[in-house]
C-alpha cells in the first residue's frame, strides 16, 4: 500500500471511530443503563444532549485551527483526544459523570468532519466516490457501535465498549503522526505565509453560490433530524419492534436456550446500518455523473415512502422497512459535502465544513430532547410520521437547486490594467 493509499485509509478509519464513539452510549442507554441505574430511557437521553451540542459547536473552531495551523496535525489531536476521553468515560458511575464524559468525547469528535472531509475533497479527484467511500466507513462506525456494545453487554459489560476503542484510537493517532509528520511541519509553515488575494467573482456566480449555500444549510438542518433519529434511536426501536424475531434468533443460535437478545438486536442493527451504508457508493458514483439535484430528490423520496410505511410494523416487516429508510438516510449523507467540496475555496474549506457541521450537529443535539419527548408521550409511530414529513420538506427545498452547480468565474480586469491581458486570456 502506498503512502497516499495509507493516508486515505487512516482518514476512513478516523471516520469509523468518530461515529462509533458518539453512538456507543445510544446502545448502552437502550440495552443496559436504564436497567442497571434504574433511569428511564427518555431521561438518559438528556445526558447525551450536551455531547452532541459539543459535537456541533466545536466543529467551527476545529476547522479554523486546521486552516490556521495544520489539518493533519488536527487529525492527530482527534485520534488521541477522543481515545483518551472515551477511556475516562468508562469510569462513570452516575448519569452526570457519563454526561460529562460524553461532552468531552463530543469536543474531540467535532474535529473529524471539518478537518477530515476538507483533506479528502482537497487532496483527491473523483470527489463523489471518495466522499462516499469515506462515508461508508463512518456508517460502519454507526453500525459497529450497536454490534460491539450489544455483544459486550451480554458478555463483559458496557464499560469495555468505551475502553477498547479508546486504546485503539490513541494507537491510530501515533501511526497517523508517523505517516504525516513532515506534512504537519509543512502546513504549519505555509499557514504563516500571507494569504494571496483572490480575484473578484462574477455577480451571476455569487448569486448562484448564495442560492446553493442556503439550500445546503437548510437541507443540512432538516436531514440532521432524520440522521439523528434513525442512528440514535434504532437500537431502542429494534428493542421494542423486533423482540419476537430477536428471541427466535437467539433461541435458534443457542440451540434452544434463552438469553442473548441484546446481542441479536445489536447484530440486526449492525446489518441494517452496514447494508444501508452501501447506498453511499451508488450515490457517490451518481454525484460524479449526474450532479446532486436528481440524486437528492431520489433519496428523499425513498425516505418518505419507508418512514410512512413503518408505523405499526413489527418483527420481519419492521426490519424490512428499516432497511428502506436507512438506505435513504445514509444515501443522502455525501450530497451536501459534495456540493461544499466543489464550491468552497481551498484555503477556507475546513472552516466552511466547520460551519456546515455546526448546523448539522447542533440540530442533532436538539433532536435528542425531541426524540425523548415524542417517545415518552406518543411512542415511535409519531416519530416516523414526523420523519416522513421532514423527508417531504427536503424534496420541496431541493427542487430549487440548479441542475448544475455554479463554477467560479472571476471578473476579468480591463485589458489596459496590470494583469488585465492575462486575465482576459484566461
Give the integer Cα–Cα distance in Å for 90 and 70: 31
Q: What is the pTM of this model?
A: 0.70
Residue-wise pLDDT tens digits, 357-390: 777 777 767 777 888 888 888 888 999 999 999 9
User: What are the grid coordinates assigned to 97, written together?
Assistant: 459523570
User: Could you tell me the CA-to-CA distances from 143 to 148, 157, 267, 398, 407 in Å, in that order?
Assistant: 9, 19, 9, 28, 37
**Residue of higher predicted confidence among 109 and 126:** 109
Query: Domains in the chain and their CATH numbers?
Result: 3-191+202-413 (1.20.1250.20)
DSSP annotation of 31: I
pLDDT digits (tens, 9 = 90+) for 74-100: 999 999 999 999 999 999 888 899 999
Evaluate whether 340 touches 201 at the Cβ level (below 8 Å): no
Distance separating alpha carbons of residues 185 and 203, to the nearest angstrom: 38
**For range 19-28, the mean pLDDT:** 86
What does the block give as the cell for 242? 423486533
For the stretch 127-180, pLDDT in tens is 677 888 888 888 788 777 777 777 777 777 778 888 888 999 999 999 999 999
What is the tens place of the pLDDT at every residue in 344-354? Answer: 655 566 677 77
CA 286, CA 318: separation in Å to the nearest integer?
29
**Cα pseudo-dihedral 295, 214, 52, 239, rounded to 10:** -40
Amino acid at each position: 500500500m502506498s503512502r497516499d493509499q495509507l493516508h486515505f485509509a487512516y482518514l476512513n478509519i478516523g471516520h469509523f471511530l468518530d461515529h462509533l464513539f458518539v453512538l456507543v452510549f445510544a446502545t448502552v442507554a437502550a440495552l443496559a443503563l436504564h436497567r442497571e441505574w434504574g433511569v428511564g430511557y427518555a431521561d438518559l437521553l438528556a445526558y447525551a444532549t450536551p455531547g452532541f451540542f459539543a459535537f456541533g459547536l466545536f466543529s467551527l473552531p476545529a476547522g479554523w485551527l486546521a486552516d490556521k495551523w495544520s489539518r493533519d496535525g488536527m487529525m492527530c489531536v482527534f485520534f488521541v483526544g477522543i481515545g483518551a476521553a472515551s477511556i475516562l468515560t468508562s469510569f462513570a458511575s452516575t448519569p452526570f459523570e457519563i454526561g460529562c464524559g460524553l461532552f468531552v468525547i463530543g469536543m474531540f469528535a467535532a474535529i473529524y468532519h471539518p478537518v477530515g472531509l476538507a483533506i479528502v475533497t482537497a487532496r483527491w479527484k473523483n470527489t463523489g466516490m471518495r466522499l462516499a467511500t469515506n462515508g461508508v466507513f463512518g456508517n460502519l462506525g454507526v453500525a459497529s457501535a450497536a454490534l460491539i456494545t450489544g455483544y459486550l453487554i451480554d458478555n463483559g459489560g458496557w464499560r469495555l465498549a468505551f475502553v477498547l476503542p479508546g486504546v485503539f484510537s490513541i494507537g491510530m493517532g501515533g501511526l497517523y503522526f508517523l505517516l504525516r509528520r513532515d506534512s504537519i511541519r509543512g502546513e504549519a509553515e505555509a499557514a504563516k505565509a500571507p494569504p494571496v488575494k483572490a480575484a473578484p467573482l462574477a455577480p451571476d456566480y455569487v448569486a448562484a453560490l448564495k442560492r446553493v449555500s442556503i439550500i445546503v444549510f437548510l437541507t443540512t438542518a432538516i436531514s440532521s433530524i432524520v440522521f439523528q433519529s434513525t442512528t440514535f434511536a434504532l437500537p431502542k426501536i429494534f428493542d421494542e419492534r423486533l423482540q419476537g424475531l430477536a428471541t427466535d434468533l437467539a433461541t435458534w443460535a443457542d440451540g434452544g436456550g434463552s438469553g442473548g437478545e441484546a446481542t441479536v438486536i445489536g447484530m440486526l442493527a449492525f446489518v441494517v446500518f452496514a447494508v444501508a451504508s452501501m447506498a453511499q457508493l451508488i450515490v457517490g458514483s451518481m454525484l460524479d455523473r449526474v450532479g446532486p439535484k436528481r440524486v437528492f430528490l431520489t433519496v428523499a423520496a425513498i425516505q418518505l415512502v419507508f418512514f410512512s410505511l413503518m408505523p405499526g410494523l413489527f418483527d420481519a416487516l419492521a426490519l424490512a422497512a428499516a432497511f428502506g429508510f436507512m438506505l435513504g438516510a445514509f444515501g443522502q449523507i455525501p450530497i451536501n459535502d459534495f456540493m461544499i467540496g466543489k464550491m468552497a475555496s481551498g484555503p477556507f474549506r475546513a472552516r466552511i465544513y466547520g460551519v456546515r457541521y455546526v448546523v448539522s450537529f447542533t440540530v442533532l443535539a436538539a433532536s435528542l430532547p425531541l426524540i425523548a419527548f415524542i417517545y415518552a408521550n406518543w411512542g415511535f409511530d409519531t416519530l416516523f410520521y414526523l420523519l416522513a414529513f421532514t423527508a417531504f420538506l427536503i424534496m420541496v427545498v431541493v427542487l430549487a437547486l440548479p441542475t448544475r452547480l455554479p463554477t467560479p468565474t472571476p471578473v476579468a480586469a480591463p485589458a489596459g490594467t496590470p494583469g488585465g491581458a492575462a486575465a482576459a486570456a484566461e
